Amino acid sequence: MTCAVSNVICSIIFGERFDYNDPVFKNLVRIMDENTKLLGSHKVMLYNFFPRIATLLGAHRQTVQNYDELIEYILKRIKHQRQVFDTNAISGFIDAYLLKQEQESAKTEKIFDDENLVCSILDLFEAGTETTSTTLRWSMLLMMKYPEIQTKVQEEIRTQIKQGQLPTVDDRRNMPYTEAVIHEIQRFVNLLPLNVSHKTSNDVYFRGYCIPKGTDVIPFLTSVLYDKTQWETPYEFNPNHFLDEGRKFVKRDAFMPFSAGKRMCVGESLARTELFLFFTGLLQSFTFYPPPGVSREDINLRSDIGFLSFPLPHLLCAKLNY
């Protein structure tokens, strides 16, 4: 699952897909997977509060080493793309960025510099790889837990998408129940409980308190995604949270798994598109159910908390629908 999702990101960024057995691609996936786990480890969390102990923490050193390796590869790809760059053959995000650089080359203040390009690519990798693949693993677990919801999604798929055709982004507007289920999966699993820390650029006064410039601010998304004043049944998996009385999809203001404001996740649009296409494609082709001897009541929805909320390991069965 992670490889499939990561390859989508690579095709968007680099303009080409990798073979799953390509050693470079396998190393990219390894780095993203390893760093996600390391960032959620207690040692790295300890470093976030006490940076001076960095030299004592092997996990922190490994995280930095992985990022350095990833950045080195990205810089090599940027250099290569610049050498073969053709304004008439824009094939990926890097090419589009280089075109923008060329267009603003006469300006004295440049926003589209290489540093921002590297940071944007890192954001896309992080937002569109491990987070998306983990959400999809949760989706299969939840469909196994709630077969009646899985059946409704599959009925909508059969109604809106012809057999033999793959789902497209345009299908989303005609599939309100599927959209509601995907949004409820994101709300319910609370994938990034503490989101990503930010820093105040100026002194901020909030409810009588002064938050000094340069203060690290950690948004606690759980408080919003499980707010009893915003959700009818916050602790239940309930797609009706995103459906109005006419069974049309409604996006709620309290739905913010990608954070909010100007510094929200840059990869939101990409991640939402990936989730729809992968989730719909999976349920179009397969029906997920528990292995023999396991009832739906036995399926544990507790998460393994780290940087991300990972589902606990489960066995599942998948039956081809046709």
Residues pairing with 249 in the sheet: 243
CB 16 within 8 A of CB 10: yes
Residue indicated by tokens 């308190």: 209
CB 92 within 8 A of CB 11: yes
CA distance 40 to 66: 15
CA distance 160 to 110: 46
Check the annotation: does 265 bind a ligand. yes
Per-residue b or e along 269-307, where b marks 16 or more CB atoms closer than 10 Å to that residue's CB: ebbbbbbbbbbbebbbebbbbbeeeeeeeebeeebeebb
CA distance 157 to 175: 8
CB 238 within 8 A of CB 184: yes
Which residue ranges are tagged as binding site?
A: 265
Annotated binding site for heme: 265
